[in-house]
Amino acid sequence: MKPSLTLTRIGFGAAAIGNLYTAVSPETAQAAVDAAWSGGIRYFDTAPHYGLGVSEQRLGGALARYPRDEYVLSSKVGRLLRPGSTAGPDPGFAVESNLERVWDFSRDGVLRSIEESLTRLGTDRLDIVYLHDPDDHWAEAVDQAAPTLAELRDQGVIGAFGAGMNQSAMLTRFVRETSVDIVLVAGRLTLLDPSASLDLLPAARERNVTIVAAGVFNSGLLALPRPPQDARYDYVQAPPELIARADAIADVCEFHGVTLPEAAIAYPLRFSEVSSVLLGMRTPEEVTQNLGASDGKVPTQLWTDLAEKGLVTA
């Protein structure tokens, strides 16, 4: 029997408080978590990869003031943090460290990763453990990491396990070929890329697997009421045709009194397989903004109109 996972509709993605792209002070990180808690968020996600452990340390410290049984905490395995040859700036995260990431989906690597995450987080357990970006490590992930996590789940050491990726094809394989309880799909169940609805959703439905949707703004293109001309899409400059499509979606949203971010958050929650939308938040203001965007009532007619115009999948 699969474990019962109760996730809040909106989850707190803690990559941002690990200094994703720009630095965040420890005080701001604490305030962001406090604002999320006050706003009713009870699902928090992190990973060793985020800021070379900074995200886990800050999230664990921020959550220490709250009852452990009242929230769901997830982290990830697949990248161990090990001393490197030289200290320096980390690409993607505004941190300087002598640590480096080492890919490892072996049984020993999984056990070490969990132990080290628990230490950084200052907690005694993880409710969910994801295989983190195993795109180029399928064999080791499915032969060693997944069975190890399944064993830990069955022993009650962790609550549940799954995989988190930026693609749906391999996530679908994990759903069909392993005993995952949950998957985290980033950027592939969005207004601009609903590809996961074609393969991952049917598989999750058949196997009773929970889905968490992340990257719903596709790196920022859908994060504002109108997409700026220099908007990014999946971490790179968005092509003009995609900006034009997002702008056309915004036109229909505006007609219905809905903002583009509100529609972006609501879109994956239309699917019964999706339990939570994970949003990255670095400040209390961003938390307030995201919670406000998630509270809007999006009329069913919006989806009908978007589908009729060929802007989203029916």
Mean pLDDT in order along the chain per 10 residues (314 residues):
82 98 97 98 98 98 97 98 81 91 98 98 98 98 98 98 98 98 98 97 98 96 94 92 97 97 97 97 97 92 97 83
Distance CA 294, CA 307 (A): 21
Is 275 within the bounds of a domain? yes
Q: How many CA atoms lie within 13 A of 173 on its CB side?
A: 11
pLDDT score at 2: 62
Query: Which one of the listed residues 21, 43, 50, 71 is annotated catalytic?
Result: 50
Domain contains 3:
no
Task: Specify the pLDDT at position 90.
Answer: 85
pLDDT (0 to 100) of residue 270: 95
Structural domain boundaries, residue 168: 10-308
Q: What is the pTM of this model?
A: 0.96
Residue 254 located in a structural domain: yes
**CA distances from residue 30 to 17, 47, 84, 137, 214 in whole angstroms, order as listed:** 9, 17, 29, 35, 22
Total domains in the chain come to 1
CA dist., res. 167 & res. 116, Å (int): 27
Question: Catalytic annotation on 130?
Answer: no
DSSP calls for 120-187: HHT-S--SEEEEE--TT-HHHIIIIIHHHHHHHHHTTSSSEEEEEES-SHHHHHHHHHS--SEEEEES
> What's at 41, amino acid-wise?
I
User: Can you give the pLDDT at residue 271?
Assistant: 96
Q: Under a CB-based contact definition with an 8 Å cutoff, are residues 181 and 5 in contact? A: yes
Residue 257 lies inside a defined structural domain of this protein: yes
In a domain, residue 295? The reply is yes
Determine the Cα–Cα distance for residues 67 and 51; give it in Å rounded to an integer. Answer: 26
Residue 314: inside a domain, yes or no? Answer: no
Q: Residue 66: inside a domain, yes or no?
A: yes
CATH number of the domain to which 228 belongs: 3.20.20.100
Nearest-angstrom CA–CA distance, 151 and 237: 42
Does 243 reside within a domain?
A: yes
Q: Strand, coil or helix: what is 106?
A: coil
The SS3 assignment for 3 reads coil
